[in-house]
Structure 1
Amino acid sequence: MTNNTINKNEMTDKKDEITILMIRAGEPPEEMTIANTLEAKQKLVGGYIEMYFLPTDDDAVIICNEEGKINGLPLNRGIFDEKRRLIEIIAGDFFLCNAPRDSEDFTSLSPKQIEKLSEQFRYPEQFMRFNQGIVVVPIKDKHKGCER
């Protein structure tokens, strides 16, 4: 006879929650666990959500405010192609999670993805017009290593 008793913690495969990497304007990345609901995602970005696929071969995506630029939200981070050319600037707070292309579900980032993406989005950025383009300057902590 098989024991079909399921522990409540075992029953939840965490699909009702996902692990994300939150990127707030002017701040370093923050790993978080959130409810896997539309409302929770909209609250984090401050409005309707838009999905932006990163130029990588994995399932990581940016979830940002659909009207971030239109509403004048602060410019947050630049997105670069494999040749380090700026291809997009995300305005407002956003987060990263997985959105497998063969599914409609959002899923957690893996620990390896969190490590990689935390490094990629490590520093807040400042954007400046220069000649005919935009220059992206990482804002590194100027107080790091200084004693007070």
Structure 2
Amino acid sequence: MKRGMKMKEKEIKVLRVKPHEHPEVYMLKNTLEAMQEAVGGYIDIVGLDDNVCILLNDEGKLIGLEGNRRIGSDIIVGDFFVCGSDEEGNLTSLSEEALDTYTKIFYEPQEFTKEEIEETTVIEFYTFE
């Protein structure tokens, strides 16, 4: 291994956030297959803060997953995971400080109507001309 390179963690300590539940610390295998299984489909990774991101189902709104938490003007649906990330874009374990911070942020479950979720659904089309 080259000097300065980090080994990818085999399992990462993350925060799992499910609809209608308080967040919990969760050990997630750091493989694409495990992540897809955890979110129930294709994954999307969205930056949340410096070195913190969320892992969620990319098609969650299209397949009717249940509303979970509001982040900004968006509503996240289905189970999602708050993860760390490094400068190379790899997912990493959250620090204890980040676990504490995001547990507090997402502690209270939220309820959403289907209409509220639909209002936050955006489909963008791009043309290549």
Q: Which has the higher contact order (CA 8 A, sep 6+)?
A: 2
Q: Distance in 2 between matches of 1:31 and 1:48?
A: 22
| Aligned 1:1-148 pairs, distance under 5 A | 15-54=9-48, 56=49, 58-80=50-72, 87-100=73-86, 102-127=87-112
Confirm or deny: 8 A CA contact 2:20 2:110 kept in the other structure. yes
Q: Percent identity?
A: 40
Number of residue-to-residue matches in the alignment: 111
Amino acid at match of 1:89: I
Amino acid at match of 1:65: N
Amino acid at match of 1:48: Y
Q: Deviations over 1:105-148 (max 9, x none)?
A: 11000000000000000011012579xx99xxxxxxxxxxxxxx
Q: Distance in 1 between matches of 2:83 and 2:35?
A: 11
Aligned match of 1:7? none
Q: Distance in 1 between matches of 2:85 and 2:8?
A: 15
Unaligned runs of 5+ in 1: 1-12, 81-86, 135-148
TM-score, normalising length from structure 2? 0.78
Q: Deviations over 1:15-36 (max 9, x none)?
A: 1110000001111101011211
**RMSD of Structure 2 on Structure 1 (CA):** 2.1
* Partner SS for 1:127: coil
TM-score, normalising length from structure 1? 0.69
Q: Distance in 2 between matches of 1:72 and 1:88?
A: 15
Unaligned runs of 5+ in 2: 1-6, 121-129
